Structure 1
Amino acid sequence: MDISLIAGLLVLGAAVGFAAGLLGIGGGMLLVPFITMILTAKHFPQEYVIHMAIATSLATIMFTSISSVRAHHARGAVMWNIVKLLAPGILIGSWVGPWIGAHLNPSTLALSFAVFVAFSASQMLLDKKPAAARDLPSATGMFAAGGGIGVLAGLVGAGGGFVSVPFMTWCNVKIHNAVATSAALGFPIALAGTLSNVYFGLQEDNLPSGSLGFIYLPALLVISLASVTTAPLGARTAHKLPVKSLKKIFAVLLYSLAAYMLYKAFA
């Protein structure tokens, strides 16, 4: 990779790591569009660009989530009882998501991503308050919820925070606990999704050099190095700043990225 590409990926990784720690997202909402832009500019085969962006995004979340959750855990904010209930369904769903994605054409995949990003941005802007009596579902319901979160996250290359945080706050989990717990859920999502993307990608014959399945290893390395450095900073900042205001700003950015992926879907 040339110096300008490395510098761009370092900046991207630093921004994504900070956002992951701050908002409890895995970073995929930011990573996928920007990696798509980078791979497109480098003239990667168009039929693989979005698949590789999603797979590489998921792989980086393995490293980002570990760094972020350590900072949240140190503050006692992670609700591990929720993690244990959601994780089994998440592992299954996160394997299935990339399998679905591998059978979709790039335009459909880009359109799916745009819809989910716009949904995430809308959730941040609306900030609806849950009913006071609402609680987390039973163990069976949590397994089903984990499966749904995993499928969506694996399909669009995100850490699942765009679904898990609204789900937990809807069930009256405090926002800071929901953000911290979402960071912990990012690892099983990313692990299962990464293995799935490697497995299904290895069945393709014409992937670019430097690929492991659908994962582009040079981008994974550079982004991960930067993101693990800034994720703890984002987690510490989340406990000091008015996250509601920051979410509104972040939502505007997500709408812009959704518009770009919508353009990719129909270009």
Structure 2
Amino acid sequence: MSTETETGVEDGNTLFSDIDLSWEHRKNELFRWLLIAASLFGVVMLALLLFDVVTDFYTGLTEFNISLYEFFTQDGSQEETRAGFKGAVIASIMLMIMTAVLAFFVGVGSAIYLEEYAPDSRITRLIEANLANLAGVPSIVYGLLALAAVVNGIGIGPILIAGAVALGLLVMPIIIVSTQEALRAVPDSVRNGSYATGATKWQTIRRVVLPAAIPGIMTGTILALARAIGETAPLIMVGALFVNRTPSGPTDRFSAMPTQIYNWAAQPSEHFIHLAAVGIVVLLSFLFVMNGVAIYIRHRYETEV
């Protein structure tokens, strides 16, 4: 018996030893290096872009005497020595507040209905598939929609509300999809345990499911707003290209940070190019802060839960 077993093992070893796997190993190694090269390419390109922006930023502060105090306290202007970023910063903050109000409650409410109440039917699956597709639609399409429906359709003109509608339409599918994923991550055993205590469906969602899903919901929302704050195409479509004053309300015309940077970068003067670099650094700072807030909120809620 043992002799037959040993003979079988020897035959198996002989069988596998006849297969040359060196080419397979080389292909695996080649594929691994291709992945590393692709990753490094993106990182290197990003590093070069950041280096170019930081260089122009430093040159603007040292050689062109751009004062950061005046940069943050002056409104936009066609005169390079008087051009500032105050109106654009305030307009972007107001835009993000209105966009969050328009998109968050509708997006989270839609996700709760689709995930917790809607039946698993063909229509529901079609809606979810369309929402996933809408999350990848180019941002200029939402700008064209806001231009046709709000700016020209209703006739309110290129004001802050129109920009908020365009950005709200842009981020709403992202918020819905991220909220659905956060709700799906909550185990069914948690829901069943709540039902076992006599809680209703809404009580279970409000007191059990949502607290457990809030880290994912908040992270997705803040990251969606971080994308919206850097979008230029929708705002250009609604007419927010250049305004030389600070908006005081949602019915005022405006220039947000991306459109102000775009306007400066299109100017022939080199001074405006360096003003655009300073504006890019400010916009990147906003993006880093918003991403940091998303990470902090997620970590805090996960720790509490």
Q: Pick the TM interval, shorter chain.
A: 0.3 to 0.5
Higher RCO by CA contacts (8 Å cutoff, separation 6 or greater): 1
* Higher Rg of the two aligned structures: 2
